[in-house]
Amino acid sequence: MSTESSPDAMSRSVGGTEYSWCRAVPGGTGVTALALLFSKPPNLSHLQASIQKLQDSHPILRSKLRSNPSTNTFLLFTPSASTPLEIHTSDLAQSYYQALEHEMNTNAWRNQDNRVTENDVMFASLYNLPDQKWVVVLRLHTGVCDRTAAAFLLRELLGLIAAGEGCVDKEIVKEDGMGLPIEDCIPAGKANKPFWARGVDMLGYSVNSFRFSHLDFKANGLPDSTQYVRMQIGLEDTDQILGASAYFQSHCFKFHPFISYHLITYISTILNWGCKSRNIKLYAVLAAAAFIASRASKNLPDDKWEKYSLATLIDCRALLDPVLSDHHIGFYHSAILNSHDVKGGEDLWDLAKKIYTALENAKNNNKHFTDMADLNFLMCKAIDNPGLTPSSSLRTSLISVFEEPITQNSSQSHKDIGLLDCIGCASVHGVSPSLAIFDTVRDGELDCACVYPSPTHSREQMQDFVDQMKKILLGSNVSQ
């Protein structure tokens, strides 16, 4: 099976998962923002040329999305003579985070006139901050660019900017045509489910949704914007959470790589440190901390149970036929929705192990493929009927996490171009969880971009919630 459409066939209908995102984005969920903070003013012509190279190499980035609200149909197409993407410049943002939030809440795909529209799937902006810093933001439709693809684009863009400044030479990966929808790449038989089983699962998802506990809502009804809070954890504490021990690596590798690797593994095991010694992944610990923090915020008696829902996003590229890589731009994630009962006094690592085991069991049963259509259907039903969600808030779970974190490391070329920081996340004020966590391990330190809907949740509430999560992760004494 080819992973690409014909170079001449530069239009196609959206797939099932893409369709769900095309329905979700106009309501406020799925506007992806990739923000880069610089200490040096980017050369506008070099930036324009770099973005043009990305679009030339990945045709889906220069495509347009045709939307017909009256029929709820969507088409991706690449114009035969596309015009260069215009970089919007602004002096209005007062801070890096304000620019990021503004981009997530700028929605070119919102259709208020009920007419057929054609919109680009990517936009670019340059913000001049008052403190002699500059922010470059790429804003993308999540339906054509998932987190893995966004992280790849970020690396490519930084490489191209550095090349334009003469810092490095940069070759860029090229794709032929627009990639296929994820549904067309699922291995034969993996998505099969008997009709009766599909009905039972749909009923189960619907009934369970009324039993889920949520954070307190500060306002009822539909939220109208997405806000951002950040959780950062230092190198040594991240080492203890992951159990990978970059701190010990940096000190032990001067002896011998083989010896230091086994020494690190031994130390992590005997001290019972982190994910590595317990054979679990970071997402499970983040979810466990969120569950414990949520329950702690309600001052419940220890014997009172709460049922929390967790949406875990899985990058399926390595599981598809044929296998895809991160340079295949598109949306190739699937979600698994699990629920967990939490009482007072839960141990962080025991709960994390349960969360990890539940996801592994679901994956072993191919639920990331068999339930894909079910969850897409329920997502669209929630969009059409907000009253089916708690307080008409469009909240479908407590949190969402990614199965794997993004790993980023600084380089000399980043310093040469004045890169200070980078953040990638997406809006969530349409149908979505109360908190979406975009986790990155950057230079060995955990850095989580956390986004939430407003005014459903307040900034003070969510900052406190994330702070409590951090205390739990660091092992502080927090009432559970």
Buried/exposed code over 160-177 (b: 16+ C-beta within 10 A; e: otherwise): bbbbbbebbebebeebeb
pLDDT recorded at residue 168: 52
Q: Where are the domains of the chain?
A: 11-185, 195-473
Helix axes 195-209, 372-384, angle to 10 degrees: 50
Please give the torsion angle defined by the CA atoms of residues 26, 30, 41 and 230, in that order, rounded to the nearest 10 degrees.
Answer: 130
- Separation between Cα atoms, residue 191 and residue 472, nearest integer Å: 38
Backbone angles phi, psi at 98, to 5 degrees: -65, -40
Which CATH number, 3.30.559.10, 3.40.50.2020, 3.40.220.10, 3.90.79.10, labels domain 11-185? 3.30.559.10
For residue 284, give the nearest of 241, 236, 317, 316 by alpha carbon: 241
Which superfamily does 195-473 belong to?
Answer: Nonribosomal peptide synthetase, condensation domain (3.30.559.30)
- The CA distance from 163 to 9, in Å, is 32
pLDDT on residue 8? 44
Q: What is the pLDDT of residue 478?
A: 43
Is-contact 330 60, C-beta < 8 A?
yes
Helix axes 235-242, 282-296, angle to 10 degrees: 100
pLDDT along the chain (480 residues), means of 10: 46 96 97 98 94 94 93 91 88 96 97 88 97 97 98 95 68 83 96 77 72 93 97 95 62 49 48 80 98 94 93 98 94 97 94 98 97 94 92 95 96 94 98 98 97 98 98 69
Torsion of CA 405, 406, 411, 417, to 10 degrees: -140
Predicted pLDDT at 232: 98
Q: Is the peptide bond before 433 cis (omega within 30 degrees of 0)?
A: no
Residue that has been written with the tokens 């903070």 in this structure? 37
Amino acid at 457: H
As given in the structure block, the two tokens for residue 408 are 């980023």
